[in-house]
Structure formats: C-alpha cells, structure tokens
Structure 1
Amino acid sequence: MNTPASTIALAAGLRDHFARVILPVWRGPGFNSALNLPYEAVNPTSHAPMPVERYRAMACARQLFVFSQAGEAAHANVLFDALVHYFQDKQSGGWFYSVDAQGAPLDTTKDLYTHAFLVFACAEYGARSGNRDALDIVKSTSALIETRFAARDGLLNAALDAGFATVTGTPIQNPLMHLTEAWLAAREATRDSAFDTALQKLAEAIDRTFVHEPTGCIAELPLGMADNRLEPGHQFEWFWLVKQAGKLLDGTQLDAALTRAFDFAQLHGVDQATGGVCASLDENGAIKDATQRIWAQSEYLRALATRDDDAARTVLPQQIERFQARFLHQHGWYECKSAAGEVSRADMPSTTPYHLATAYAALPA
C-alpha cells in the first residue's frame, strides 16, 4: 500500500529541521576546532558548550556516523582522524573510553559499547568515503571484540580493564544490541561473510539469555537477575534490527519474539494521550521509570515505519506530529521529559543526532 503524501511531508519536515537546525550546531559551536572533537553537550538555546570534563570515543564515533551519512565528507574526515588520534590504544590494542579536556587518555576502560560504535561508524564512513583504513578498523576491531571480550555461552563481556586482563563488566543487553547494529553495517560495507557467522552466533546467544518468553521482550540483564527491566525503546530498536537482518537470523526465535515485544512495548510503554515512550517497565508491564528520553521516541518512529502494516501506517503520522511538538524546538531538541511534559534534562548531548538520523532515514520519503 502506498504511503500517504501527508506522512511523507511530515517526515520531510523532521529531516529539514535536522539539516537546518541540528547539523549546524555540531559543525559549529558544538565542535572544538582546537582538538577537532565534538563537545559532549551544548546549551539548548545558545549552543555554547557545556563545561568540559571529557570527550568520549563513542560520542566522536556517533558524530562520525552522522556526518558520513549526511554526505559531509570534509567534516567526517576530520572526525575520523581525531577518533584514531585520540582514542586508539597503540600499546594494548582496542580503544580508550575517554580522554580529558586536553585530549590525554582519561578512562582507559575497554568498553564493548564503545568498540561497537567504532565498528559501526567506521563501516558507514568507510563505505561512503572509500577510506581503506576505516574498513581495516572495522575488521580488526571486530576480530578484537570476538577474542578479547569473549564470555560464556557465546556472549561478550561489557567491559575489561585497559590491558584486557580483568573483566569489569559482565554481559548486558545494550552493548550487544549495538554490536548487532555494528556488524550489520560492517556486513553491508565489507561484503565479508565472516560477519554473517558472527551475527548468527551473537543472535543465538541473545535468544538464549535475554528473551523474556511471556512478552517476547529482550531484557536489559540476563534472565533471572535481580531488578531486571524491559525498556520499550530497546524493543523498538531491536525490532528494526531484526527486520534488517532478515533471513540471517532464521535459526533464532528473535523475529517472532520481537513482533510480540513491539506490541507489549506499544501497549504498556507508550502514553496513549501524548505518545511519549517511557524509559522502562517491569516484566508485567508496570512502569518502572516514567522518564521520556528522546532516543526512545525516535526508535518508536523507526519501528512504526519498519512495521509497515495498516495499524502502523495509521499511527505513524500522528506520532510524527506528537514527537515534533513534544521533543523538537527552534534551537534543537529536548533530551528528556517527565510524563507530565516537564523538561528533566535541558542540555543537548552530541550523541543524540545519531538517534535522530537513523530514525529519520527509516521514515518514508
């Protein structure tokens, strides 16, 4: 069925706001041209950088993805060079978590979430620019992840110390989700079938360890751990990822599970009056954290566009309008709101444009 012209026009409005308002912030006042690094966050109206304590590799990588996807090659080249210069650990291998205000290593933890975004961003940048060094990083960092982060039962640890000698974070859902995203991008960029094998192994481990059978949702912690939670935004994000993977994940139950998870998250995690997506639920669907973070709203938009059935096509235009009215403004966006609509985080982080860019790319055009 054809997408209504009104939905296409609404999606175009979001993309226009992104190009006209958001991208200029991060190539301008949100970018430290002395270090060639994006600031962690800016003031929501003046766009002045917030006080600097650190720069994270993950934040730089997300910005590299955004400007690569936007076709802004010159800025992407600068970000790639900075990523390699500041964050690559040439002694122990892998990538530092953060550097300080002067660009010296600060947190030298080897963090899976960070490494996943290195792979993801370099895949996008390498595919668009043809930079062979970036594609080499995709492969070498992926190989390092499989060996150095390896844990039990096909899983991967969340964090290790600088020398990869001590596990400081055991397997959790979020970095594994972003690694799935990264390896799907790497597969597309390199056409290397090794990523098929890695993705299948990872998906099987996630299926065994994190899928909450009564709801189909992927839990944040391995099943059975105390104080577990289900995040609606992550169910929508996983829904998109599994649809992107297609037949690659046929050996798992993830596709069927995430279809159920979408329905559960939509029913219990989306405010029917405002369209706001809450942060987390318990396993019975009761709200644990009512905070509405912009990334979860963007993932709901992307999942609706991906689901592409009659019900989703009906909801999507209304949800775009609600999102635009509730979370965007003339200077940028609101990062977090309460269920009542009060702003609970006012600054604008450099990591958020990645969420907006990926969501808007999935919307009809």
Structure 2
Amino acid sequence: MTQIPFAAIRDWIFRDALPFWAEHGVDREHGGFLEELSHSGAPTACDFKRVRVQARQIYGFSHAAMLGWAPGAAMAKLGYDYLVAHARQPDGSWAKSLSRDGSAIDPTPDLYDLAFVIFAMAWRYRASGDAEALAHAYATLDYIQRSMRAPNGGFVSKLPDDGVLLQNPHMHLTEACLAAFEASGDQRFLDQARELIGLFKSKLFDGVTLGERFGPDWTRLDSEAGRVLEPGHHFEWPWILAQHQRLTGESVAGYPEALIAFGERFGLDERSRAVFDTVWDDGAVLQGASRAWTNTERIKGWLALYELTGRDPRAQVAESVNLLFDRYFAGSKPGLWVDRFDRDGAPMAEAVPASIVYHLLLAFTEVLRLEPKLSAL
C-alpha cells in the first residue's frame, strides 16, 4: 500500500505554502490578500477581491498561528483589519467583492460569502481571543437569520433572491456555525447548525445523491442545471457531519457512508484517481476535469469516516495526497500548484487561486492531526 507522506505534508505547509503566501499573497499597495497569483508567484491583472477569499485566508493564518507558526497571528490580523474596514456594510451584511483598492464593487449579500465571514471570525476569535471578531460572527448570523430566511426552510442564496436555492452555501454555513460553537461554546451557533443538518437530511440529500440547485420548494431544478452534481461535496459533507457528531455526540451514522459511496463509485476517474468536478445525477461523467479542491475533500471525507467508524482510510488518503503532490504540485514553485487538469492530464488553470489555500491547509492539517493514529494502524 502506498504510504501517506506525512513529512512532505508538514514541509509543504510550514516550509513552502505559509511563508510563500504570507510574502507573495498580500496586496502590498492596497492591503488585504490578493485573489490569485501567477504560476511564477507574481500578482496577476485580476482587478477584484472576493470577500470569501479574504475570509478563507484569515482562517488559514489563524489556524497556522494556533499550530505554532509565529507569523500567522500578524497575517490573520492584517486580513481581519482589511475585511472589517472595507467589506462591512451599514445594514450588517458584508459585500460580495471588492475592487483592488478596497471599494465595494458588488455589495450583494451572498450566503456563501457570509458563511465564510462567520468561519473566519470564529477562527480569528479562537486564535486571538479578540472579542470584536466574535461580535462580528454574531452580527453576521443575526443578518442571515433576519434577512435571508427562505419560505420553506433554509436561506436564500443572495439578495435580491433569484428563486434558486443552493446546497453549497448551506454546507459552509453549517461548517461555520460548528466552528463558531467550538470557539465560543454558545448554543445559538449549534442550534443553527442542527437546523441546517436537518435540512441536509430532509431536502439536500436523497439517500444516494446530494443535490446542488433547488427551486423555492426545495425540489431539485427540473433542468440540466438541476441534474449536475459535485462529487467533491459528497466527500466534504461527511467531514462536516463528523464534526457535528464530535461536538454534540449526536449520531450521523449512515449519511457519511452513503455520500462517500457515491463519490467513490461515480466521482473518481478510473485512470488518474482524481475526483471529478461534476457528474450527472445518474453518475455519468459530465466533463472529466478535476480541480485541486475536490481531491482535498476526498482526504477529509475518508478521515471523517475513519473517526466515525474505524474504517482504515490509509489507502484512499495516501492516493489523494500523492496525487496532489505528483500532479497538482509537480513543476510548480514550492507553495503553488496547477489548480485544474482535464481528463487527459493537461493543465487548464491560468492562475493559482488563493481560495484553495483553505482547502489544502484544512485537509493536510487533518492528516497531521491523525498522524499518530494512522501510523499505528
């Protein structure tokens, strides 16, 4: 069996990625974090900054600080100060995107971005004890609950509502509320997470497949868009469900197994073992491309299944970790990667998106957290 490269993971995080993004991923002219870098590590001509990316980088550097990487605290504060100064809106929401100079170019309240604001604030509070960050998490949840409730459960995806309900923002809001509960101990965050997991069980997941796009009554869209599924999310939800069980003791038995079963059967390229970006709801391959993040979620999904059931995850974890090193990282500057490949293994990405540091860091730190147990199997 191929081995999990624990030492290479540790080196990539602390020697390569964190120092590189701390040096090159900051907008030295206008503040905050850059949206993307070129494959040489230079800023691109990208003229916007998504709030979700600012939030994800705040998470990453906060987590790094908690793991003992000393520059992480200052980097997280840099991002936090910038986000609060430029993205916070008078009504309590947060802009969706900013210009390079920090002005709001899309002030749309977007559930996905708001979820990551809560996630960032939870990790900022956990790492620093900054009470203002926790206050922002509360205020953001206030706004979501007050202004974005959908008539038939869950939340609208953005304001104004376009009538399409989305799975993905609900998944990340669940993740964020669990992180905020762990950081604060406040039952309010856990109550919201419980509500969202109930939505997952009753509407989002049908026992076999996880839907992505729904109408106002939470039936899947009766169109091609409603048939498109993302295998990466079939691996990502199991990790979130495992966090819920860890924090509450409430069993999620059966759901992670079923989600991962679909992902393994229909979401993997038989040749490369990469996780497809999208498939049809009958499992047929839609395009065959694979981004880096879908493979990080397979890692997390199998680690979650191990903690929930004891099932040995080493083969699947090693396969996906080594794929990231051998395909996505190979030939790139240390700390960078090629973000997307087609089914024939040809690179498709013109830039390196900062948003994926979150996926890589979270998956790799989970591997390292479980290293003693996995090494003992």
Question: Is TM-score (shorter-chain normalized) higher than 0.5?
Answer: yes
Find 1:32's aligned residue among 17, 27, 43: 27
- Could you say which residue in structure 2 is the equivalent of 1:80? 80
C-alpha separation between the residues in 2 aligned to 1:249 and 1:107?
40
CA contact (8 A) 2:298 2:317 kept: no
| Distance in 2 (alpha carbons) for counterparts of 1:177 and 1:361 | 20
> In the alignment, what sits opposite 1:20?
15
Q: Which runs of 5+ in 2 are unaligned?
A: 66-71, 372-377
The structure 1 residue matched to 2:359, chosen from 331, 339, 355, is: 355
Residue 64 of structure 1, CA deviation: 0.4
- Number of corresponding residues: 349
1:336 and 1:188 mapped to 2: Cα distance? 33
CA contact (8 A) 1:41 1:348 kept: yes
Judge conservation of contact 2:305–2:311 (CA < 8 Å) in 1.
no
Tell me by how many angstroms 1:242 deviates.
Answer: 0.6
Alpha-carbon shift at residue 5 of structure 1 (Å) = 11
| SS of residue matched to 2:45 | coil
1:224 and 2:220 are equivalent in the alignment: yes
Of 315-324 and 275-284, more deviation after overlay is shown by 315-324
Distance 1:218 1:88 in 2: 33
Task: Look up the SS of the partner of 1:159 in the other structure.
Answer: coil
Aligned residue identity for 1:354: Y
Q: Which residue of 2 aligns with 1:259?
A: 257
Amino acid paired to 2:103: A
1:149 is displaced (CA, Å) by: 0.9
Distance apart, 1:99 and its partner CA: 1.4
Indicate the larger mover: 218-227 or 345-354.
218-227
SS at structure 1 position matched to 2:105: strand
1:38 CA drift (Å) = 1.1
* CA deviation after TM superposition for structure 1 residue 154, in Å: 2.1
Q: Determine the C-alpha separation between the residues in 1 that align with 2:91 and 2:9.
A: 43
Q: Deviations over 1:147-194 (max 9, x none)?
A: 11101222100000xxxxx32463200111100110010010110011
Q: Does 1:289 align with 2:284?
A: no
Deviates more, 1:329-338 or 1:305-314: 305-314
**What residue in structure 2 maps to residue 317 of structure 1?**
318
The residue that corresponds to 2:342 in the other structure is 338
Q: Distance in 2 between matches of 1:318 and 1:96?
A: 39
1:65, 1:48 → 2: CA distance? 22
1:189 aligns with 2:191: no
Cα pair 1:117 1:182 within 8 Å, conserved: yes
Q: TM-score, length-normalised on structure 1?
A: 0.90
Deviations 1:20-62 (A, max 9, x none): 2222232222211222211111111x21111031111111111
SS in 1 for 2:286: strand
1:11 aligned residue:
6
Judge which range, 67-76 or 258-267, deviates more. Answer: 258-267
Q: Provide the rounded CA distance (Å) in 2 between the counterparts of 1:237 and 1:137.
A: 26
Return the TM-score normalized by structure 2. Answer: 0.88
Does the 8 A contact of 2:122 with 2:134 survive in 1?
yes
Distance 1:103 1:315, change over 3 A: closer
- 2:329 aligned residue: 328
Given residue 84 of structure 1, which amino acid in structure 2 is its aligned partner? Answer: V
Residues 6 and 283 of structure 1: CA distance in aligned 2, closer, same or farther (over 3 Å): closer
Q: Shift of the alpha carbon at 1:322? A: 2.3
User: Are the aligned partners of 2:112 and 2:169 in contact in 1 as well (CA < 8 Å)?
Assistant: yes
Identity of aligned residues (%): 27
Question: Residue 325 of structure 1: CA displacement?
Answer: 0.3
Cα distance in 2 between the residues matched to 1:261 and 1:203? 14
Residue 316 of structure 1: how far off its partner (Å): 2.3
- State the match for 1:163 in structure 2: none
Paired amino acid for 1:77: K
Q: CA deviation at 1:134?
A: 0.3
Change in CA separation of 1:177 and 1:191 when aligned onto 2, cut-off 3 Å: same
Q: Does 1:203 align with 2:197?
A: yes
The DSSP-based 3-state class of the residue aligned with 1:31 is coil
How far residue 195 of structure 1 moved from its aligned partner, in angstroms, is 1.7
The code of the aligned residue for 2:54 comes to: C
Q: Distance in 2 between matches of 1:65 and 1:201?
A: 24
CA-CA distance at 1:306 after TM superposition: 2.1
Structure 2 residue matching 1:300: 3-state secondary structure: helix
Equivalent positions of 1:104-183 (< 5 A) are: 104-160=103-159, 166-168=160-162, 170-183=164-177
Contact 1:159–1:169, Cα closer than 8 Å, also in 2: no
CA distance in 2, matches of 1:220, 1:158: 12
Tell me the residue number matched to 1:268: 266
- Structure 1 unpaired stretches of 5+: 161-165
Check conservation: 1:123, 1:135, Cα contact below 8 A.
yes
Give the Å deviation of 1:199.
Answer: 1.4
| Separation (CA, whole Å) in 1 of partners of 2:287 and 2:253 | 27
What SS does structure 1 have at the residue aligned with 2:254?
Answer: helix
- Tell me if 1:67 matches 2:97: no
> What amino acid maps onto 2:344 in structure 1?
A
Aligned partner letter, 1:335 = D
Return closer, same or farther for 1:310/1:101 CA change in 2, 3 Å cut-off. closer
- Give yes or no for contact 2:211–2:220 (8 Å, CA) kept in 1: no
Equivalent residue, structure 1, for 2:374: none
